[in-house]
Amino acid sequence: MGAQIAVSESDAAYTVKAELPGIDKDIDVSVDDNVVSISAKAERDKEAKDGERLIRQERYSGVVNRSFSLAADIDDGASSAPCQDGVLLMTLFTKKDAPKKRLQIS
């Protein structure tokens, strides 16, 4: 199971779109200053329908973990992260007083 993540930036917030196929409920998002971590777990069973005899059963389970750093600290109190149909769409507002962090290239 894989996840596709896209991050875009505006003046006030980051938008993170994480496609998590087959996952709608078992998602954990944590924010620590400017580090965002997404963890999701999927468990799927294929079962026989009524009136069918079970010949074979497949079970799938998997875990996705992604962490990434952003250039500014996140205001986790103002941010939101709704998930619908396996797509997590986070709006991560930046702290107003936090300067953007830049790395010095040597």
Long-range contacts of 52-57 (CB under 8 A, 24+ apart): none
Q: What is the dihedral of CA 43, 20, 34, 6, to 10 degrees?
A: 160
pTM: 0.72
- Render pLDDT for 78-104 as a digit per residue (tens, 0 to 9): 888 888 888 999 999 998 775 555 666
What is the distance between the alpha carbons of residues 23 and 21, in angstroms, rounded to a whole number? Answer: 6
Domains: count for the chain = 1
CA distance 15 to 17: 7
8-43 pLDDT, tens per residue?
A: 999 889 999 999 887 767 888 998 888 999 998 877
Asked if residue 103 belongs to a domain, the reply is no
Q: Determine, yes or no, domain membership for 100.
A: no
Does 84 map to a domain? yes
CATH number of the structural domain spanning residue 75:
2.60.40.790
pLDDT tens by residue, 43-73: 766 665 667 777 776 776 778 889 999 988 8
Is 106 domain-assigned?
A: no
Q: Is residue 99 a part of any domain in this protein? A: no
Residue 59, domain extent? 4-47+54-93
